């Protein structure tokens, strides 16, 4: 029985396997950011401990996955700060402007409008919510922007605007330089 006995020594990879599995779970569970960071750090630590005992493929894979998980966490945190710092203020501004426009749209109506010889005569009614800074009067492709007087319920405008009887006049309130939309419209009649 003179066979050759081969003595192979295996380096135990228990911590490497556990580090790999924990890092993989951390990466998969990355949708839950708090879990991602904690599990990824544990996976990195376990993988490093195994690598100190002897390198194994799974401990290196666990280390890499753990680092990727930590990087994903940092990217997620960076995006959170970006959204909070840049996008949320823009949304708040749009909501504030939109709320103001709703009041302006509801408050401006055409009491009467007619086409004179060379001008348009327009009477606006502001109701109780006169908050528009300016009014844009539009007929077809022609328009003119006029300042509106605050604190009055009615206001008369005489405009030099290219229009004829039968054309549609649209009134668009303007808040902080932003046209809110068509508040009212009327077909022009002869004065």
The separation between CA 13 and the C-alpha centre of its own chain, rounded to angstroms, equals: 48
pLDDT in tens, 13-50: 677 777 778 777 776 766 666 777 888 888 899 889 98
The Cα 111–Cα 107 span in angstroms is: 12
Q: Does residue 186 have a pLDDT over 90?
A: yes
In a domain, 147, yes or no: yes
Helix residue ranges, H only, the chain? 14-28, 33-53, 57-82, 88-107
In a domain, 35, yes or no: yes
- The answer to whether residues 147 and 169 touch, using CB atoms and an 8 Å cutoff, is no
Q: Does residue 12 have a pLDDT over 60?
A: no
- The answer to whether residues 59 and 47 touch, using CB atoms and an 8 Å cutoff, is yes
Q: What's the mean pLDDT when you consider all of the chain?
A: 80
- The answer to whether residues 114 and 190 touch, using CB atoms and an 8 Å cutoff, is yes
Only one residue has tokens 């203020």, namely 89
Whole-prediction pTM:
0.50
- The answer to whether residues 56 and 13 touch, using CB atoms and an 8 Å cutoff, is yes
**174, 148, 97, 94: which is closest to 183 by C-alpha?**
174
Based on the fold, state whether residues 70 and 127 are members of the same structural domain.
no
What the block records as the tokens of 159 is: 């405009």
CATH number at residue 112: 2.60.40.10
Q: Does residue 129 have a pLDDT over 70?
A: no
Q: Report which listed range, 35-39, 118-122, 180-184, is most confident.
A: 118-122
The helix or strand, by DSSP H or E, that contains position 170, with its residue range, turns out to be: strand 168-175
Q: Which domain range does residue 69 map to?
A: 14-99
The Cα 173–Cα 179 span in angstroms is: 6
Based on the fold, state whether residues 87 and 154 are members of the same structural domain.
no
Among 55, 73, 99, give the residue marking a domain's end: 99
**33, 38, 45: which is closest to 75 by C-alpha?**
33
Among 78, 99, 120, give the residue marking a domain's end: 99
């Amino acid at each position: 029985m003179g066979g050759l006995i081969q003595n192979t020594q295996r380096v135990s990879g228990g911590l490497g396997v556990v580090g790999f599995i924990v890092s993989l779970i951390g990466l998969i569970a990355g949708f839950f950011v708090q879990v991602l960071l904690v599990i990824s750090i544990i996976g990195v630590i376990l993988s490093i401990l195994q690598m100190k005992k002897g390198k194994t493929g799974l401990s290196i894979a666990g280390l890499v996955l753990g680092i990727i998980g930590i990087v994903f966490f940092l990217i997620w945190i960076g995006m959170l700060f970006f959204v909070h710092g840049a996008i949320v203020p823009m949304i708040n501004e749009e909501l504030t402007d939109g709320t103001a426009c709703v009041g302006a749209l509801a408050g401006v109506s055409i009491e009467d409008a007619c086409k004179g010889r060379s001008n348009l005569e327009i009477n606006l009614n502001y109701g109780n919510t006169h908050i528009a800074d300016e009014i844009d009067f539009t007929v077809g492709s022609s328009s003119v922007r006029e300042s509106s007087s605050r604190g009055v319920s009615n206001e008369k405008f005489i405009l030099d605007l290219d229009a004829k009887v039968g054309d549609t006049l649209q009134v668009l309130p303007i808040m902080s330089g932003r046209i809110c939309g068509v508040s009212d419209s009327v077909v022009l009649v002869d004065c």
